[in-house]
Amino acid sequence: MRPLGVTILSIALLAIGSLALVTGVVLISTKEESYPVFVEEYGKLVNQSFGNITISEEDLKTIYEMASYIAALFGFVYLITGFGLFTLKEWGRILAVLVAGFNVIYSIFLFFVQPLAAVEIAVNLLIIWYLMKPDVREKFSRKITIEERILGDQNP
């Protein structure tokens, strides 16, 4: 039987992954319409965070394209991770730990710009701790006997 925490985490990853993948695909496919909005909003963000810095048009296009493709890529990775967790695959658990670890590292750098990133660091460390707990790990690596397959799990 799948632990409730794994179910919640897998559903969250599937939802976040779907949203990121759709966002990336929409940004890629609607570049003509969305690029001017991106330039305006990104300019505001840069000015708020770092002061009055000028960014060339070529650099802005590169940033836009990279952000679009990275959003789609991360969405795909989150979807695969969520599926792996939901189906209790060991590779899904390992991938989830790696994704959470990456998010911790990213959030440490982000913390210097946005102090609320500390919450994201804490949440991702909690995810890593949870997925590394022996009782949770056992659910991913336990072999199912023929009796359990026929009769179901008799030990909840």
Indicate whether 57 belongs to any domain.
yes
Q: Which residue range is the domain that position 137 belongs to?
A: 4-142
User: Looking at residue 142, what is its pLDDT?
Assistant: 64
More reliable by pLDDT, 50 or 81: 81
- What DSSP letter does each residue of the chain carry, written as one string? ---HHHHHHHHHHHHHHHHHHHHHHHHHHTHHHHHHHHHHHHHHHHHHHHSS----HHHHHHHHHHHHHHHHHHHHHHHHHHHHHHTT-HHHHHHHHHHHHHHHHHHHHHHTT-TTHHHHHHHHHHHHHHHHSHHHHHHHHPPPPHHHHHH--S--
User: Looking at residue 155, what is its pLDDT?
Assistant: 56
User: Looking at residue 42, what is its pLDDT?
Assistant: 82
Indicate whether 148 belongs to any domain.
no
Indicate whether 152 belongs to any domain.
no
Tell me the whole-structure pTM to 2 decimals. Answer: 0.81
Indicate whether 149 belongs to any domain.
no
Quickly count: other Cβ atoms within 10 Å of residue 44's Cβ.
10
User: Looking at residue 53, what is its pLDDT?
Assistant: 78
Indicate whether 66 belongs to any domain.
yes
pLDDT digits (tens, 9 = 90+) for 91-149: 999 999 999 999 999 999 999 888 999 999 999 999 999 999 999 999 997 666 677 67
User: Looking at residue 91, what is its pLDDT?
Assistant: 95
User: Looking at residue 154, what is its pLDDT?
Assistant: 58
Indicate whether 155 belongs to any domain.
no
How many distinct structural domains can be found in the chain? 1
Indicate whether 154 belongs to any domain.
no
Q: Are 12 and 84 in contact (CB under 8 A)?
A: no
Quote the CA–CA distance of 2 and 140 in Å, as a whole number: 9
Indicate whether 22 belongs to any domain.
yes
Q: How much is the mean pLDDT over the chain?
A: 90
